[in-house]
């Protein structure tokens, strides 16, 4: 039950972020659900591998390359999900930040 609630919270966060960030579009709430699931799976399986492979770059940039990895996860999700489009690096960056903040706020209110 908790997993379903977290996915729904993430989908709401995706919808809110797509409304406020220019350059990001989500076709429907169903698409937002798929985006939330895909982002969750990418963050669980692909992101740790990328973080491990880019440790030298991350250390060299004092951790700022981790932001690039987050943006890459958003781009990868956009390429995998039809109905979800991101146009530009800063749109993906703002989208990932806003989704994280909104998810955290809603999760803290629900829990």
pLDDT (tens digit per residue) in 7-55: 999 999 999 999 999 999 999 999 999 999 999 999 999 999 999 999 9
pLDDT in tens, 51-76: 999 999 999 999 999 999 999 999 99
Domain range holding 89? 2-110
The beta-strand segments (E) located in 3-93 are 24-26, 84-86
pLDDT band at 111 (very low <50, low <70, confident <90, very high): confident
Nearest one of 90, 88, 85, 46 to 69, comparing CA atoms:
46
pTM: 0.92
DSSP 8-state secondary structure symbol assigned to residue 25? E
**Which residue in 32, 26, 24, 28 sits closest to 7, CA to CA?**
32
Give the DSSP letter string of 82-109: TTEEE-SHHHHHHHHHHHHHHHHHHHHH
The pLDDT, as a whole number, for residue 1 is 74
Give the count of domains, the chain.
1
């Amino acid at each position: 039950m908790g997993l379903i609630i977290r996915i729904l919270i993430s989908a709401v966060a995706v919808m809110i972020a797509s409304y406020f960030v220019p350059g990001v579009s989500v076709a429907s709430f169903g698409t937002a659900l798929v985006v939330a699931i895909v982002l969750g799976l990418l963050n669980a399986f692909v992101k740790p591998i990328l973080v491990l492979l880019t440790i030298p770059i991350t250390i060299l940039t004092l951790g700022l390359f981790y932001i690039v990895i987050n943006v890459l996860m958003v781009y990868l999700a956009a390429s995998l999900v039809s109905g979800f489009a991101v146009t530009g690096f800063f749109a993906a960056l703002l989208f990932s930040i806003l989704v994280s903040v909104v998810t955290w706020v809603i999760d803290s209110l629900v829990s």
